[in-house]
Structure 1
Amino acid sequence: MAEEEVQVFGFRSGPFSLRVELALKLKAVDYQHIEEDLLNNKSDLLLKYNPIYKKVPVLVHNGNPISESLVILEYIEHNWTHNPIFPAHPYDRALARFWAKFIDDTVVPAVHKISGSTEEEREKAIEEAQKTLEPLENELGNKKFFGGEEIGLVDIVGLILAGWIPAIEEALGFELLNTHKLPNLKKWTEEFVNHRVAKQVMPQKDALVAFLKNVVLNRKN
């Protein structure tokens, strides 16, 4: 069988392309990472492979491009069926898709609102984000991961919570995930960043904090 060519056009300080890379790592699929300069110089190949949105991630499999992280995760699951990241039962799969979409449509905007808020607005934005996270807190319960004992779709999509929220907290000097209000999610973030495979793709916290501080500084200037 001919060797497959798998490329990921991504951005190592961004959570969306790392979803794709984590899924490939969990399935032990070899791939080539192609780093994109999203701020100053998007490559011609990125613009060719994703002419609609012109952003990462883009998975290119044997020359065929797929964009949008949730769509790519579906493709990865169906194309490489070993080491599944989706639940086996159709109902559980539907629930996983629901929570993945909830993270992207509701949680991510709430976190962005905090990072873009002034100091006067921040306390209210944090309270709103914590309320937004409560359904995930309840869904997780006392499970190790949303996928059970191993990382699954919701965990992969939620890596923005595990890696980026702690870094945003440190960069901007506030606390969102605390053991008093969101104990399950707080424990989950610790399990996630210490997972043997997640550690291979997650950026170092110090580097991410420096990147986020730079983004906030540039936004103010």
Structure 2
Amino acid sequence: MAGEQQQPETELVLLDFWVSPFGQRCRIALAEKGLPYEYSEQDLLGAKSDLLLRSNPVHKKVPVLLHAGRPVCESLAILAYLDEAFPDAAGPALLPSAADPYARARARFWAAYSDRVYEAGTRLWKLKGGEARAKLQARAEIVEVLGNLDAELGEKEFFGGEVFGLVDVALVPFVPWLPSYERYGEFSVEETAPRLAAWARRCAERESVARSLHPPEKVDEFITLLKKVYGIE
């Protein structure tokens, strides 16, 4: 209609929650690629917004990327979408070159595998006192996961070599959660995965990472809040 202002086709809106590591993946990727976007903070502990429920009716969770009003859900799908939808973005691609499908498949595998850090860590802090056997199992799992990631990283600067890419973006938002996991699981990341610990320090020097993540103390406060919400003593 005459007089109506048309929304630009490239308009991006990110539905997110401040401490979500999955949303932080998207924030880091958008920053790395130099793509401007609007941030929309969502309430995940109270009543979820109609916009979030409409945009992600299946899982009803963040992150959701709205591109010209069309929703893209799940963080790893969003990362891949950013590469494909914005091939001419100012920043580099997150995935290896399409000319190397093996490297792309390997990156996708390890990016998905990185979720296990969060899954095992969540099992640790959700344990109640007296669940010693379950604690040992959860600790063994996260130590194994971190060890596998450490081995895959090896002596490389980043998971893709010299280039900060998909696996780095997928994994680095879990770094501020690790001190809490260490405390609940009674293990040391520095001893378990020393190369991964050094990688985390390198990643923290990147502006996209530093501006997207919160200090471990804030994350630990949020975990304490969640424990109260779930009635975990």
TM above 0.5, one fold? yes
SS of residue paired to 1:207: helix
1:107 — aligned with what?
117
Alignment partner of 1:85 is 2:108: no
Given candidates 62, 68, 74, the residue that maps to 1:56 is 62
Deviation, 1:3, is 6.8
Residues 149 and 16 of structure 1, relative CA distance in 2, 3 Å threshold: same
2:157 — aligned with what?
144
Q: Which runs of 4+ in 1 moved over 3 A?
A: 167-170, 172-176
2:168 — aligned with what?
155
Segments of structure 2 that go 5 or more residues without pairing to the other structure are 1-7
Q: Hey, what's the Cα distance between the residues in 2 that align with 1:30 and 1:78? A: 16
Identical counterparts, % of pairs: 35
Residues 166 and 150 of structure 1, relative CA distance in 2, 3 Å threshold: farther
> What are the superposed Cα offsets for residues 84-110 of structure 1, whole Å, 9 maximum, x if unpaired?
111112211110001112222x43322
1:174 — aligned with what?
186
Q: Hey, what's the Cα distance between the residues in 2 that align with 1:164 and 1:63? A: 32
Q: Hey, what's the Cα distance between the residues in 2 that align with 1:122 and 1:214? A: 20
Given candidates 46, 54, 69, the residue that maps to 2:52 is 46
Q: Hey, what's the Cα distance between the residues in 1 that align with 2:128 and 2:197? A: 25
Aligned-partner residue type, residue 38 of structure 1:
L
Retained in 2: the 8 A contact 1:36–1:43? yes
Retained in 2: the 8 A contact 1:163–1:189? no
Q: Hey, what's the Cα distance between the residues in 1 that align with 2:31 and 2:75? A: 15
Alignment partner of 1:196 is 2:207: yes
Q: Hey, what's the Cα distance between the residues in 2 that align with 1:131 and 1:164? A: 17
SS of residue paired to 2:40: strand
Residues 144 and 108 of structure 1, relative CA distance in 2, 3 Å threshold: same
Q: Which moved more, 1:111-120 or 1:128-137?
A: 111-120
Q: Hey, what's the Cα distance between the residues in 1 that align with 2:185 and 2:106? A: 34
Deviation, 1:196, is 2.1
Retained in 1: the 8 A contact 2:16–2:23? yes
Q: Hey, what's the Cα distance between the residues in 2 that align with 1:176 and 1:110? A: 15
Q: Hey, what's the Cα distance between the residues in 2 that align with 1:202 and 1:141? A: 24
Residues 168 and 181 of structure 1, relative CA distance in 2, 3 Å threshold: closer
Normalising to structure 1: TM-score of the pair?
Answer: 0.89
Retained in 2: the 8 A contact 1:22–1:201? yes
Retained in 1: the 8 A contact 2:32–2:208? yes
1:211 — aligned with what?
222
Q: Hey, what's the Cα distance between the residues in 1 that align with 2:164 and 2:128? A: 35
Residues matched between the structures, number = 217
Q: Hey, what's the Cα distance between the residues in 1 that align with 2:201 and 2:224? A: 22
Aligned-partner residue type, residue 60 of structure 1:
L
Q: Hey, what's the Cα distance between the residues in 2 that align with 1:23 and 1:157? A: 9
Aligned-partner residue type, residue 106 of structure 2:
L
Aligned-partner residue type, residue 155 of structure 1:
D
Q: Hey, what's the Cα distance between the residues in 1 that align with 2:66 and 2:181? A: 31
Residues 49 and 77 of structure 1, relative CA distance in 2, 3 Å threshold: same
Segments of structure 1 that go 5 or more residues without pairing to the other structure are none
